């Protein structure tokens, strides 16, 4: 008999808004069903892979904030597996960020108070976040989508995302030829081995007692992790003070913020614009980007992965008109209070 259980989210939590908030929700093995407002994925649990489907309220309807999340598995889960699944789902949906955290962000940047935006989707494990970050560097979005599909199909059990152990044992030639990861092949294997040996310690990386600068330096020392990837992994750890600036930042600076000049000038001014948001800088930056993407493709809760695989390319985004929402002027953001 298939298992079914519930998870109590924060009192302001809305699945369709808070899950569809970062591009990784579209990457395999995640599957968002916009018609049912349901998030499904395979999790590789203690007794093997299981497909879990997460909904909030009646399928296809709009649930009130804080309505319990219902999780349905395609097989019977043991008590230990239900605990394991609940922990991974909670990480993925950032259920550890309660309403006071989001309200703190809205005090700093009130533009997002009405929509309630504040949480950013991530993976069930830090390992998956790190590998997905590597697959998103120096490449356009369609290639990132296909790399993750191939990783799950070729090396994941039952279509799950591969575990560190399975990837650490893979051949570089397999990753390059069958998973199409290109130059990232050996770097992915090396990172996987560091997770297997415990040299990458999520508890230390996420601990409030560990300084942001120390985390950033450590991450930049990992195989294939440069400044952009390190800053992105930091926000996936819940450290939002740094911005992972890349070509999208240049496009945003020029297209939406109206900044002119050389690349270095645009990057500097984008950084200066969001610096006053302090520990919430990335959230403010990201939701501006996200609003721009929605101007291209409609509300993110209506997105379908296959259709979006070709939509977010540099050539397509150049033609999108910037949203008309008033922005906080550079240097005039409210002082951080949390």
Q: What is the mean pLDDT of residues 116-126?
A: 98
Percentage of the chain surpassing pLDDT 70?
91
- Angle among Cα 232, 234, 235 to the nearest 5 degrees reads 70
* CATH number of the domain to which 144 belongs: 1.10.340.30
Q: Is residue 34 part of a domain?
A: yes
Q: Is residue 132 scored above 90 in pLDDT?
A: yes
| Mean pLDDT of the chain, nearest integer | 92
* CATH number of the domain to which 17 belongs: 3.30.310.20
Output the pLDDT for position 338.
Answer: 30
Count the neighbouring beta carbons within 10 Å of the beta carbon of residue 101: 17
Is 331 or 307 the better-scoring residue by pLDDT?
307
Q: Is residue 290 scored above 60 in pLDDT?
A: yes
pLDDT in tens, 235-271: 999 999 999 999 999 999 999 999 999 999 999 999 9
Q: Is residue 13 part of a domain?
A: yes
**pLDDT range class, residue 337, cuts 50, 70, 90:** very low
Q: Is residue 323 scored above 60 in pLDDT?
A: no
Is 125 or 315 the better-scoring residue by pLDDT?
125
The tokens 């990753």 sit on which residue?
175
Q: Is residue 56 part of a domain?
A: yes
Q: What is the mean pLDDT of residues 318-322?
A: 52
Q: φ and ψ at 49, to 5 degrees?
A: -70, 150
- The total of structural domains in the chain comes to 2
Output the pLDDT for position 314.
Answer: 53
pLDDT in tens, 30-44: 999 999 999 999 999
The whole domain housing 72 covers 4-97
Query: Sign (positive/negative) of CA torsion 287, 288, 294, 299?
Result: positive
Count the neighbouring beta carbons within 10 Å of the beta carbon of residue 246: 17
Q: Is residue 100 scored above 60 in pLDDT?
A: yes
Q: What is the mean pLDDT of residues 54-63?
A: 94
Output the pLDDT for position 305.
Answer: 83
Residues 89 and 161 grouped into a single domain: no
Q: How many C-alpha atoms does 306 have within 13 Å on its Cβ side?
A: 1
Q: What distances in angstroms separate CA 240 from CA 59, 110, 119, 256, one per listed residue?
A: 33, 17, 11, 21
Residue 133 has which token pair?
A: 């970050």
Residues 63 and 138 grouped into a single domain: no
Q: Is residue 245 part of a domain?
A: no
Residues 79 and 161 grouped into a single domain: no
Q: Is residue 169 part of a domain?
A: yes
Which of 236, 271, 299 lies at the terminal end of a domain, its last residue? 236
Output the pLDDT for position 312.
Answer: 65
């Amino acid at each position: 008999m298939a298992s079914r259980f519930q998870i109590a989210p924060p009192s302001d939590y809305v699945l369709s808004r808070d899950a569809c908030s970062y591009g990784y929700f579209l990457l395999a093995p995640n599957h968002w069903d916009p018609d049912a407002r349901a998030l499904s994925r395979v999790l590789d649990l203690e007794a093997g892979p299981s497909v879990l489907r997460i909904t909030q309220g009646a399928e296809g309807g709009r649930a009130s904030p804080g309505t319990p999340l219902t999780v349905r598995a395609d097989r019977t889960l043991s008590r230990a597996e239900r605990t394991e699944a609940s922990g991974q789902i909670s990480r993925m949906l950032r259920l550890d960020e309660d309403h006071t955290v989001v309200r703190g962000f809205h005090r700093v940047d009130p533009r997002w108070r009405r929509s309630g935006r504040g949480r950013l989707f991530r993976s069930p494990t830090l390992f998956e976040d790190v590998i997905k970050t590597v697959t998103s560097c120096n490449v356009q979005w369609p290639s990132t989508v296909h790399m993750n599909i191939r990783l799950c199909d070729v090396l994941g059990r039952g279509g799950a995302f591969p575990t560190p152990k399975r990837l650490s044992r893979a051949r570089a030639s397999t990753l390059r030829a069958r998973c199409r990861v290109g130059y990232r092949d050996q770097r992915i294997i090396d990172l996987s081995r560091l997770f297997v040996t415990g040299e990458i310690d999520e508890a230390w990386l996420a601990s409030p007692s560990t300084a942001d600068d120390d985390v950033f330096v450590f991450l930049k020392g990992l195989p294939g992790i440069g400044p952009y990837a390190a800053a992105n992994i930091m926000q996936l750890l819940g450290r939002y003070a740094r911005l992972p600036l890349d070509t999208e930042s240049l496009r945003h600076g020029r297209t939406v913020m109206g900044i002119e000049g050389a690349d270095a000038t645009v990057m500097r001014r984008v950084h200066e614009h969001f610096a006053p948001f302090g520990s919430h800088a990335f959230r403010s930056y990201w939701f501006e980007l996200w609003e721009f993407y929605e101007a291209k493709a409609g509300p993110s809760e209506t997105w379908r992965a296959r259709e979006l695989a070709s939509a977010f390319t540099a050539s397509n985004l150049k033609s999108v008109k910037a949203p008309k929402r008033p922005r906080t002027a550079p240097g005039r953001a409210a002082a951080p209070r949390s």
